C-alpha cells in the first residue's frame, strides 16, 4: 500500500471516530436535558427557554412572516415557570398603511396580538430542543393613555395554548377569530370593536393552566 494512501485511510478513520464521538456526546447531552425537563426541573426549563428566546431575538424573520409579528416574538420575556407550563409577555401595536393618500389602520392591536400568540406559541411548544411543555401562556400588551395622557402598557390578550388543543389546530390556514375560539383566551372589545384592557390569567405554579 502506498504511504499516501495509508495516511489517507488513517485520516478518514480518525475523522469518522471524531464525528462519532461528537454525535455520542451530543446525544448524551440531549438525553440529560430531556430527563431534567421531564422531571420538572425549573432551572433546566428556564435555561432552555431563555436560550431559545435569545436566539429568536437575534434571528431574522422567517420568510413570509410580517416584521411586526416577528418583532412581537423578539420582544417576548419570560414571566413565570411551572413544571410543565411557562408564561411569557410581549407587546404589539396596530399596523397602519398609506391607502389612497391616507394613513389607515390595516391590522388592529388584537389582530396583531393573535398573530404573535400563534407564532410564539408554536415556537415554544414545538421548536425548543429537549423541552416538551403541556402549555404556554402569553400575555400581550399594547399602549394606552393614562389619565394624564401619558402612555402605559396594558394587557389586551391573555391566551393559554395547550398541547392537546394545538395538535388539532390548523396552523397554516387559521384566522385571528379561529385562534380566539380554539384556545383559552381572555380579551374584551368595546362597541366599536376596539380592544380594551384585561386582567391576565393567573398561571398556577407547578401545573399547566
The residues near 174 (Cβ < 8 Å, ≥ 6 apart) are 118, 182
Up-side HSE of residue 55: CA atoms within 13 Å toward CB?
12
Quick one: pLDDT at residue 205? 44
Quick one: pLDDT at residue 186? 95
CB-based contacts of 96-99 (< 8 A; 24+ apart in sequence): none
SS3 95: strand
Cell 401562556 identifies what position? 137
Quick one: pLDDT at residue 207? 40
Burial class (CB in 10 A: 0-12, 13-18, 19+), 143: middle
Quick one: pLDDT at residue 149? 78
Q: State how beta strands 135-145 and 85-91 pair.
A: parallel
Quick one: pLDDT at residue 82? 87
Residues of the chain with pLDDT under 70: 1-33, 35-37, 39, 203-209
Q: Which three cell numbers stand for residue 204?
A: 398556577
3-state percent helix, strand, coil for the chain, nearest multiple of 5: 45, 25, 30
- Indicate yes or no: pTM above 0.75: yes
Integer distance in angstroms from the first to the last C-alpha of the chain?
A: 68
Cell 413565570 identifies what position? 80
Hey, which residues does 144 pair with through a beta bridge? Answer: 152
The stretches of 100-189 forming alpha helices (DSSP H) are 109-126, 163-166, 176-182
Burial class (CB in 10 A: 0-12, 13-18, 19+), 19: exposed
Q: Which three cell numbers stand for residue 106?
A: 390595516
Quick one: pLDDT at residue 5? 57
Amino acid at each position: 500500500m502506498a504511504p499516501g494512501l495509508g495516511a489517507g485511510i488513517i485520516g478518514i478513520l480518525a475523522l469518522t471516530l471524531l464525528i462519532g464521538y461528537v454525535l455520542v456526546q451530543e446525544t448524551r447531552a440531549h438525553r440529560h436535558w430531556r430527563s431534567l425537563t421531564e422531571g420538572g426541573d425549573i432551572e433546566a426549563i428556564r435555561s432552555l427557554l431563555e436560550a431559545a428566546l435569545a436566539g429568536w431575538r437575534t434571528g431574522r424573520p422567517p420568510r413570509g412572516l410580517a416584521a411586526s409579528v416577528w418583532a412581537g416574538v423578539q420582544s417576548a420575556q419570560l414571566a413565570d415557570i411551572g413544571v410543565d407550563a411557562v408564561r411569557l409577555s410581549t407587546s404589539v401595536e396596530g399596523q397602519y398603511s398609506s391607502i389612497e393618500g391616507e394613513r389607515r389602520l390595516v391590522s388592529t392591536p388584537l389582530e396583531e396580538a393573535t398573530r404573535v400568540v400563534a407564532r410564539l406559541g408554536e415556537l415554544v411548544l414545538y421548536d425548543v430542543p429537549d423541552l416538551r411543555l403541556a402549555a404556554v401562556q402569553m400575555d400581550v400588551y399594547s399602549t394606552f393613555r393614562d389619565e394624564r395622557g401619558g402612555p402605559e402598557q396594558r394587557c389586551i390578550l391573555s391566551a393559554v395554548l395547550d398541547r392537546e388543543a394545538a395538535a388539532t389546530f390548523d396552523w397554516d390556514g387559521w384566522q385571528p377569530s379561529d385562534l380566539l375560539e380554539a384556545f383559552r383566551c381572555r380579551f374584551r372589545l368595546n362597541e366599536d370593536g376596539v380592544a380594551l384592557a384585561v386582567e391576565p390569567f393567573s398561571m398556577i405554579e407547578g401545573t399547566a393552566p
